[in-house]
């Protein structure tokens, strides 16, 4: 093999990390099946059209200082007119827009049917989830009632069901139990063992001048958390920071809900067995709870255990039948309500509490308690807990509302959803309620039963109102084990996510890892820490993807101006002496070394070539000294002075979203290293942000020739023409003063 052909072979593209390049429409490429291939060369006169520069005139930027900008914004937002006032009111109260246009004949039947069924389902679930939140059953009914009414007035989604959500109830319950322990309450006594709260104030119920018992203090804590969560959500709406939810990816939310479901199941295990155990809090509470359960399993109440098994045998098959035949059933079978009624009657007439000491719901009062301001002394203690609760509640509500709006062909406003869910927490917090959000299971039921508008929420509220005013005391004998079974059965959807893991793994391994990390941390550590770990790990994965991005050498698709990866597709054409390199990531301080190493590996390494030249020059000097008469070695001269066949490297910047200072310095360094061995570096397809960064970073001198190109094809044509005309490489530089 001759030295020229050997050098040509050395400069051919190697099998490298290629980008995810998709073939353009109308151009058929055959995917590469082998790691190496022979590349077809093409002649300039036949394949490359005459070189023409693309000139684009930049828009003139308006010179406005910060003060003028602020003044204009204030003038725009502070001006008031009848039209603006009307739009503001209609925007804040969507009911004023859609209710006057309500089609009674078309929508009323579906809204009444769906609202009635969801209301029937909410009665047992509200009572059951109250235990999860550490509250008395009546407070769960209050929460669902007020949330349905307020979302009817403020919400923009026609289909979501806002009310009690299991994960939020779990987070509320953990906060409530922690504050109960700090206040000196224990599980054996309803009165506090200490007469003082952690801040030193007396535990007094100011509405009745009596000592506040455990349930009273629990709802005080729950209402305070709910109030703060609502304030955060409304504040996010005011400052339009809904972007916070974008950091909660679908994989992260799914893993978080699944991990929290294990914690919910664990917290309900003691009710299934009829055990009187303290609730474990903090890191590792799931493991601690199971240790307590197995240590006390000999104290299992057989009556509660048998009741739990019977309820499971009824609920699980019926739920599966509902799901299997949901397309044929006009409405799902309200099996939960049937089980609650049957279990209440059996407990009442069988006197299970008196005869077998079975744990029951107890007295559920009728009517509404007088409103009460949240306990301000508790706000500092629960303010941090409310942050995670507010973000999770908002993210789930917005994601569900957008999903169903897209499915049914209408739009929702994320900011208004923040206001709606925020006021669904702020206002009810004055009426002894705890945090709410949209819930997927009830939303699916609502949609499948014919819901058309938000009016179905009013029907749901009327069902709950009937229970609160008349029926609630009849649930006195309902066993807590029945409520625990209802809670656990409703976790099926979250636990079934494990079946989707193989498909998720095939689509995105990174998302699967995020799912597992979030799920395990939420289950084994705590819900709040699990959410934080999930967010941090998810962001780390984003950084990791840009730290080692994909890169490739490009070739020209025949009879087109399209360039694709030579490692991914066959029959691509390459120019002799020109290498085209694509880097699929922003160029910044994290991946700058990866950029350089990939570029040097896939083209030529200028540092190694300079070292080789220096060694050859030293050998030549030594041989000149040794050889009499100055006879030179031809090979040394050739190594020292012969130019490389590669004369131009074109960097395709189309996938580089931005540059930082480290990225600009890297490009300068790369250009300087290649200039030293006679290779020019051209930049192509830089977006405006990258161009501005190059200008501000003084990538080139003003007097240098304009070598910034709007297409890779243009850069390649320029390199070929300049090589043919001058016979040498043009000075490398960049001038961004485009006319």
Directed axis angle between helix 104-132 and helix 456-466, to 10°?
50
Compute the distance between CA of residue 295 and CA of residue 512 in angstroms, rounded to an integer: 35
Q: By C-alpha distance, which of 214, 225, 123, 215 is closest to 171? A: 225
Compute the distance between CA of residue 339 and CA of residue 362 in angstroms, rounded to an integer: 18
Q: Are residues 496 and 602 in the same domain?
A: no
Alpha helices, H only, 372-454? 379-408, 414-426, 440-448
Q: At 520, list the tokens.
A: 């395990």
Q: By C-alpha distance, which of 220, 238, 144 is closest to 182? A: 220
Compute the distance between CA of residue 66 and CA of residue 72 in angstroms, rounded to an integer: 10
Q: 132 lies in a domain?
A: yes
Q: 77 lies in a domain?
A: no
Model pLDDT, residue 642: 53
Of 507, 524, 543, the one marking the end of a domain is 543
Model pLDDT, residue 151: 92
Q: Are residues 413 and 475 in the same domain?
A: yes
Distances (CA, A) of 645 to 183, 611, 651: 81, 18, 18
How many CB atoms neighbour CB 565 within 10 A? Answer: 24
Q: At 739, list the tokens.
A: 């006319």
Q: For the chain of 739 residues, list the mean pLDDT of each consecutive stretch of 10.
A: 41 40 46 42 43 64 67 72 77 86 85 85 84 87 92 90 86 88 63 37 40 82 93 86 70 83 84 80 80 87 89 86 75 78 87 84 83 88 89 84 83 86 92 88 78 89 90 83 82 81 88 90 83 86 81 84 84 84 88 88 86 82 62 46 74 88 90 86 86 82 67 84 59 37
Q: 737 lies in a domain?
A: no
How many CB atoms neighbour CB 27 within 10 A? Answer: 12
CA max distance for the chain: 123
Q: Are 386 and 225 in contact (CB under 8 A)?
A: yes
Q: 591 lies in a domain?
A: yes
Compute the distance between CA of residue 512 and CA of residue 163 in angstroms, rounded to an integer: 30
DSSP state of 244: G
Class of residue 103 by CB neighbours under 10 A (exposed 0-12, middle 13-18, buried 19+):
exposed
Q: Are residues 719 and 579 in the same domain?
A: yes
Distances (CA, A) of 176 to 182, 267, 507, 617: 10, 14, 40, 79
Please report the beta strands in 428-494, taking only residues with DSSP state E, as ranges in sequence order: 437-438
Compute the distance between CA of residue 250 and CA of residue 510 in angstroms, rounded to an integer: 12
Directed axis angle between helix 166-183 and helix 527-547, to 10°?
120
Torsion of CA 281, 226, 533, 235, to 10 degrees: -160
Three-state SS annotation for 26-40: CCCCCECCCCCCCCE
Of 527, 543, 559, the one marking the end of a domain is 543
Model pLDDT, residue 2: 42
Q: Are residues 539 and 555 in the same domain?
A: no
Compute the distance between CA of residue 222 and CA of residue 214 in angstroms, rounded to an integer: 12
366 three-state secondary structure: coil
Q: Are residues 457 and 559 in the same domain?
A: no
Return the bridge partners of 587, or none: 659
Q: Are residues 427 and 565 in the same domain?
A: no
Return the bridge partners of 684, or none: 652, 709
DSSP state of 275: -
Compute the distance between CA of residue 536 and CA of residue 669 in angstroms, rounded to an integer: 33
Place of tokens 């199941």: 265
**Dihedral sign computed on CA atoms, order 144, 150, 154, 159:** positive
DSSP state of 23: P
Model pLDDT, residue 146: 93
Where residue 659 sits, what CATH number does that domain have?
3.30.750.24
Phi, psi for residue 135 in degrees, rounded to 5:
-120, 165
Q: Are residues 556 and 518 in the same domain?
A: no
Q: By C-alpha distance, which of 425, 415, 379, 461 is closest to 168? A: 425
Q: By C-alpha distance, which of 515, 570, 595 is closest to 253? A: 515
Compute the distance between CA of residue 450 and CA of residue 112 in angstroms, rounded to an integer: 9
Compute the distance between CA of residue 489 and CA of residue 441 in angstroms, rounded to an integer: 12
Cα angle value 691/737/656 (rounded, 5°): 10
Model pLDDT, residue 204: 40
Identify the helix (H) or strand (E) that includes residue 251. Answer: helix 250-273
DSSP state of 155: -
398 three-state secondary structure: helix
Identify the helix (H) or strand (E) that includes residue 661. Answer: helix 661-675
Q: By C-alpha distance, which of 447, 366, 298 is closest to 145? A: 366
Q: 701 lies in a domain?
A: yes
Q: Are residues 471 and 378 in the same domain?
A: yes
Of 543, 566, 597, the one marking the end of a domain is 543
Q: Are 168 and 392 in contact (CB under 8 A)?
A: yes
Q: Are residues 516 and 569 in the same domain?
A: no
Instruction: Give the pTM.
Output: 0.68
Q: Are residues 467 and 600 in the same domain?
A: no
Q: Are 259 and 530 in contact (CB under 8 A)?
A: yes
Compute the distance between CA of residue 184 and CA of residue 604 in angstroms, rounded to an integer: 73
Model pLDDT, residue 517: 92
Q: Are 160 and 397 in contact (CB under 8 A)?
A: yes
Q: Are residues 503 and 582 in the same domain?
A: no
Q: 455 lies in a domain?
A: yes
**Dihedral sign computed on CA atoms, order 555, 557, 559, 562:** negative
Tell me the residue range of the domain where 162 lies: 107-184+213-276+289-300+324-361+368-543
Place of tokens 């910044």: 588
Q: At 411, list the tokens.
A: 């739009």
Q: Are residues 595 and 498 in the same domain?
A: no
Q: 533 lies in a domain?
A: yes
Model pLDDT, residue 449: 74
Considering its fold, how many domains does the chain have in total? Answer: 2
Identify the helix (H) or strand (E) that includes residue 125. Answer: helix 104-132
Compute the distance between CA of residue 458 and CA of residue 150 in angstroms, rounded to an integer: 9
Q: 534 lies in a domain?
A: yes
Compute the distance between CA of residue 16 and CA of residue 77 in angstroms, rounded to an integer: 54
Backbone conformation region of residue 74, classed left if phi is above 0, alpha if psi is from -120 to 50, else beta: alpha
Alpha helices, H only, 283-439? 285-295, 302-324, 335-350, 352-356, 379-408, 414-426
CA 736 to chain centre: 38
256: CB partners within 8 A, 6+ apart = 167, 248, 392, 518, 519, 522, 527, 530, 531, 534
Model pLDDT, residue 65: 67
CA 637 to chain centre: 61
Q: By C-alpha distance, which of 434, 528, 438, 437 is closest to 227? A: 434
């Amino acid at each position: 093999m001759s030295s020229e052909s050997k050098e040509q072979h050395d400069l051919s593209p190697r099998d490298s990390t290629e980008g995810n390049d998709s073939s353009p429409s109308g151009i058929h490429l055959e995917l590469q099946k082998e790691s190496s291939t022979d590349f077809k060369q093409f002649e300039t006169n036949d394949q490359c059209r005459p070189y023409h520069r693309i000139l684009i005139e930049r828009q003139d930027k308006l010179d406005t200082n910060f003060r003028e900008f602020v003044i204009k914004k204030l003038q725009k937002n502070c001006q008031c007119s009848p039209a603006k006032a009307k739009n503001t009111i209609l925007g804040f109260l969507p009911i004023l827009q859609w209710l006057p246009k309500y089609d009674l004949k078309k929508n009323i039947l579906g809204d009444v049917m769906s609202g009635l069924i969801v209301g029937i389902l909410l009665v047992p679930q509200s009572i059951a989830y109250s235990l999860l939140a550490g509250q008395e059953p009546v407070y769960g009914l209050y929460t669902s009632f007020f949330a349905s009414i307020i979302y009817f007035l403020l919400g923009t989604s026609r289909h979501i069901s806002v009310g009690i959500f299991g994960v939020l109830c779990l987070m509320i319950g953990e906060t409530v139990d922690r504050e109960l322990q700090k206040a000196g309450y224990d599980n054996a006594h309803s009165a506090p063992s200490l007469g003082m709260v952690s801040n030193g104030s007396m535990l007094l119920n100011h509405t009745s001048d009596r000592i506040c018992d455990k349930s009273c203090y629990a709802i005080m804590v729950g209402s305070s958390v709910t109030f703060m969560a609502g304030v955060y959500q409304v504040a996010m709406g005011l400052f339009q920071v809904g972007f916070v939810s974008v950091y909660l990816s679908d994989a992260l939310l799914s893993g978080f809900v699944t991990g929290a479901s294990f914690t919910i199941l664990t917290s309900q295990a003691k009710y299934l067995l009829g055990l009187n155990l303290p609730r474990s809090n903090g890191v590792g509470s799931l493991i601690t709870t199971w240790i307590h359960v197995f240590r006390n399993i000999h104290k299992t109440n057989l009556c509660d255990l048998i009741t739990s098994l019977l309820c499971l045998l009824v609920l699980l098959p019926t739920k599966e039948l509902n799901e299997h035949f949901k397309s044929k059933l006009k409405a799902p079978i309200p099996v939960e309500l049937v089980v609650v009624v049957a279990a209440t009657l059996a407990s009442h007439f069988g006197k299970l509490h008196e005869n077998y000491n079975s744990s029951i719901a107890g007295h559920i009062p009728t009517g509404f308690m007088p409103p009460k301001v949240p306990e301000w002394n508790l706000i500092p203690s629960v303010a941090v807990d409310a942050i995670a609760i507010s973000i999770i509640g908002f993210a789930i509500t917005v994601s569900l509302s957008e999903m169903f709006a897209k499915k049914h062909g209408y739009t929702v406003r994320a900011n208004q959803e923040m206001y709606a869910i925020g006021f669904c927490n702020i206002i009810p917090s004055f009426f002894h309620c705890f945090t709410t959000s949209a819930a997927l299971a009830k939303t699916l039921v609502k949609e499948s039963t014919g819901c058309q508008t938000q009016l179905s929420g009013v029907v749901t509220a009327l069902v709950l109102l009937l229970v609160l005013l008349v029926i609630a005391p009849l649930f006195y004998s309902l066993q807590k084990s029945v409520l625990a079974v209802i809670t656990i059965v409703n976790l099926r959807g979250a636990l079934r996510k494990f079946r989707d893991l193989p498909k998720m793994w095939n689509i995105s391994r990174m998302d699967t890892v995020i799912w597992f990390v979030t799920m395990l941390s939420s289950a084994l550590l705590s819900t709040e820490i699990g959410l934080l770990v999930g967010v941090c790990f998810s962001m780390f994965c984003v950084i990791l993807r840009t730290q080692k991005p994909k890169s490739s050498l490009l070739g020209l698709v025949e009879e087109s101006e399209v360039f694709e990866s030579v490692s991914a597709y066959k029959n691509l054409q390459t120019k002799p002496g020109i290498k085209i390199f694509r880097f699929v990531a922003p160029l910044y301080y994290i991946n700058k070394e990866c950029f350089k190493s990939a570029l040097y590996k896939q083209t030529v390494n200028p540092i190694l070539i300079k070292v080789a030249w220096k060694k050859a020059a030293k050998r030549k000097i030594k041989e000149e000294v040794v050889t009499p008469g100055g006879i030179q070695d031809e090979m040394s001269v050739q190594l020292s002075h012969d130019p490389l066949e590669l004369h131009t490297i074109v960097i395709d910047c189309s996938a580089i979203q931005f540059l930082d200072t480290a990225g600009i310095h890297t490009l300068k360094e790369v250009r300087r290293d290649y200039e030293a061995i006679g290779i020019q570096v051209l930049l192509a397809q830089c977006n405006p942000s990258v161009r501005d960064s190059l200008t501000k970073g003084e990538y080139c001198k003003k007097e240098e020739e304009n070598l910034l190109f709007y297409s890779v094809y243009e850069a390649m044509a320029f390199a070929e023409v300049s090589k043919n005309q001058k016979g040498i490489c043009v000075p490398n530089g960049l001038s961004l003063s485009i006319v």
